[in-house]
Amino acid sequence: MADKAKKVTAQFHTQLGDADNQTVNKWELRAARRGLLNLKTLLGQEKLQELIQPEMDENDQNIHGYMEKSGDKFKDVFVTVDLQGMTATEYVTWQGQEMKNAIMGDQAARDKVLRDVVFPAHPEHYLLLKSGIVETLGGLPTNATVSPQKTGEGLPQFVADATAADYPHKSFSTIKLADGLIWGYGVTEYKDTENGGGSFRLHVWWPEAAPQIFLDDHNRHFAVEYRNFIQLANEAREK
């Protein structure tokens, strides 16, 4: 039996200081984000949509199939966030303003949200349509229209049952395909904590027949997206 490959490490001594593998990973991530933002910006929204439209159409068909198999049954993704150094109220205020600009703003305002918030928040955010953000769901870019509402009126009982009464800031939503099919639900909840921080509860429900990648990827998506949202909110606060 061949010997197992030996572990190889490299330490870099640069004019910026010493860099181990973890530091190099951070530099690589920064460069990857910069390169991806450059490509998305140069392509523009129209060309980018042309490129990913076949994948969006494919996932539309997939989701219709999951809904037929699932009936009225759904399964959930649930992530909590413990925030330090910023209150939930501060965060919600920032997010609300950015959402307002994205939904109600003119083209210049929408372009700014796309460049400064949507693209930096997650590498798999592709488009900012009037209906919402096109992002990867279940492994493919998906045109998921998120319709927010302040109350959960008209939503399934399991959505209300999952909420926490002591979280004053809540946003409920239905998630639709372009043809109007409702195939998901969401609720995000926020409250300030005594230490000057905040607590978030992030919930989304997908069709029960959807493969596990929908759940696993969205756990990771929530973490990446909200980590970056929080950083962007903090940068805006400090300007």
Domains of the chain: 53-238 (3.30.530.20)
Report yes or no on whether pTM surpasses 0.85. yes
Burial status of residue 104 (CB atoms within 10 A of its CB: 0-12, 13-18, 19 or more): exposed
Residue 70 has pLDDT above 70, yes or no: yes
pLDDT tens digit sequence for 5-62: 688 889 999 999 999 999 999 999 999 999 999 999 999 999 999 999 999 999 999 9
User: Average pLDDT, whole number, for the chain?
Assistant: 94
User: If you average pLDDT over residues 91-100, what whole number do you get?
Assistant: 94
pLDDT tens digit sequence for 99-145: 888 888 899 999 999 999 999 999 999 999 877 899 999 999 999 99
User: If you average pLDDT over residues 64-74, what whole number do you get?
Assistant: 97
Residue 215 has pLDDT above 60, yes or no: yes
- Per DSSP, the three-state class of 144 is coil
Nearest 5 degrees, angle CA 150-CA 153-CA 155?
105
Phi/psi at 53 (5° precision): -60, -40
